[in-house]
Chains A and B, each alone.
Chain A
């Protein structure tokens, strides 16, 4: 029986088979969804309101990833440096921000930071009193920067030592070496995992809602939280939010795949189809 099925399916292209598998999974999901007895009408009515949080989610993550990349770069350089100060500071940074939960970090920056200012310096205390959005972005940046430090370190180390020696032999300073030789090549290794981090961050941005954002700056989860509570339907609201996050990450995943392909062009040999006789195809492809 199995052999017959295999024979039958040989003619069907792989992509079509994949589509069928996804179709079946989708049907199962729809079936489970209908079992759960959600108030679908409510979900449709409030979909637009929750979707309006999308730009804010992207802004929050965009700013946070810029901060994270900057911190990761300095963190990685610090980890690889000969200076005890640089190594000590960067290893403490990565240890703390990878070792404590993101939500705790957000609350610390939001609530505890102002307490650090002495009472007779109200100006300092005011500037340390951040809004929910600011505290959230900074916490996200710090947290993800710590994880990305390892990514950057691996990327920098992936550049062959021969390159560094050659640069030294040419008389380049450390900065010239980094800026012109090492980092441009390291970028190719760094971008794919960084893209993954960004996609993960899209969902962690939901935690900002626990700090209590203002009406003008509500991202997806906050909107779902508030509108769900207003109508006593928190679960339906969160399902809508989950669907939105799923779509968002899928879109970014698509762009990331394209970016990876583009960046790898110089390094991966393209597939060669060599036809020796009609009907016989030999296919060669080799990664670098």
Chain B
């Protein structure tokens, strides 16, 4: 009897140890303290909680090169979104830690304090605004149509895609565009593609692989992802002009238990500062080869 109890305790201890030592993800140290002046947090709100803890936990979906992906040699995330988030943490004067939940859980809100901020190339839409607070946009991407490199049948995107099978990532703005119900505050759209047969996938890279296999006639995605695919050597090409531009911003949970107003303001201030001093443009050129940080229409 005694032996069994000891055994049971040993097993529980093992369980507790395993559950205990998985804390958050790796923390990236920031270089220097480039804290910028700005909104101060007040007692009990999210900003001061982050400053006190000394860590900003950011969510990222590392399925999305060149915005966010896993570098297997260093076991660190890397990408445009990663660098922007790291800079925001520096601006607040804290370190950055990462969480990598599924994209659907990020856009649904109700993060339960698992992470504080999402820097994930998220488009501002009215439905998302119901559950999230958005910062100032940090860049704008054109939405483009990608086809196979040898495919010459599609050249005019306003007519040649009608009725075709088009792959998109499920729940993304491209999905809503093809369904004809995309809404972005301050923008109007011409839904030029009619009756597309929409094939949704879990993420953009899967849609592009389906294109390479010939399961879909075209893919609609961000120009940055398209370029990443081309750079990775996949036989695809962009065709036609961009169908729309989307403003991408950082997001904060509207249902967080602490007050988020000062935190949202602070993040927006830092982003605006990065626009002004050119660091955002620099990062954009580094990761995308062009400056996407200014609004074009």
- Are A217 and B22 closer than 8 Å at their CB atoms? yes
Residue of A nearest to B100 (CB): A212
Residue of A nearest to B257 (CB): A122
Q: Which of B70, B101, B209, B234 contacts A235 (CB 8 A)?
A: B209
- The reply on A269 being an interface residue by CB < 8 A is no
- Given A214-B24, A227-B70, A115–B63 Cβ distance below 8 Å? no
B-side interface residues, number (CB < 8 Å): 41
- Quote the shortest CB–CB distance from A116 to chain B (angstroms): 11
Q: In the complex the two chains form, what is the Cα distance from A210 to B103 in whole Å?
A: 10
The complex places the Cα of A214 from the Cα of B257 at a distance, in Å, of: 24
Q: Which of B14, B70, B99, B101 has the most CB of A within 10 A?
A: B70
**Which B residues from 61 to 86 make CB contacts under 8 A with A?**
61-65, 69-72, 75-77
Bound-complex Cα distance A211 to B64 (A): 17
What is the bound-complex CA distance between A227 and B113, given in angstroms?
28
For the complex, what is the distance from the CA of A212 to the CA of B22, rounded to whole Å? 13
Provide the residues of chain A in CB contact with B192, threshold 8 Å. Answer: none
A231 close to B232 (CB less than 8 A): yes
The answer to whether B102 touches A216, judged by C-beta atoms less than 8 angstroms apart, is: no
Q: Which residues of B contact A211 (CB under 8 A)?
A: 101-102
CA distance A246 to B8 in the complex (A): 32
Q: Does B170 contact A (CB under 8 A)?
A: no
Pairwise interchain contact A230-B22, C-beta atoms closer than 8 A = no
* A31 interface hit (Cβ, 8 Å): no
**Are A234 and B205 closer than 8 Å at their CB atoms?**
yes
15 more A-B contacts (CB under 8 A) besides A63-B14, A125-B257, A232-B228?
A46-B72, A63-B15, A66-B11, A67-B15, A114-B112, A131-B22, A133-B22, A214-B99, A215-B70, A215-B77, A226-B69, A227-B70, A230-B65, A230-B72, A232-B65
Is B102 in contact with A214, judged by CB distance below 8 angstroms? no
The interface size bin for chain A is: 35 or more
Q: Given contacts A46-B72, A213-B100, A215-B75, is CB(A229)–CB(B65) below 8 Å? A: yes
Picked from A46, A133, A214, A229, the residue with its CB within 8 Å of the CB of B64 is A229
User: Which chain A residue shows the least CB distance to B72?
Assistant: A49
Residues in chain B within 8 A of chain A (CB atoms): 11, 14-15, 18-19, 22, 24-26, 61-65, 69-72, 75-77, 98-102, 105, 110, 112-114, 203, 205-206, 208-209, 228-229, 232, 234, 257
On whether the beta carbons of B25 and A229 are closer than 8 Å, the reply is: no
Tell me, in angstroms, the Cα distance from A144 to B206 when the chains sit together: 31
Interface centre among A66, A229, A234 (most CB of B within 10 A): A229
Please state if A232 and B105 are interface contacts (CB–CB under 8 Å): no
Main SS of chain A's interface residues? helix
Checking B102, B205, B257 against A212 with a beta-carbon cut-off of 8 angstroms, the contacting residue is B102
Instruction: Decide: B100 and A229 in contact? CB cutoff 8 A.
Output: no
A254 to chain B, nearest CB (A): 26
Chain B positions within 8 Å of A115 at CB level: 110, 112
Closest 8 CB pairs of A and B: A214-B25, A230-B69, A212-B101, A229-B63, A114-B112, A226-B70, A212-B100, A49-B72
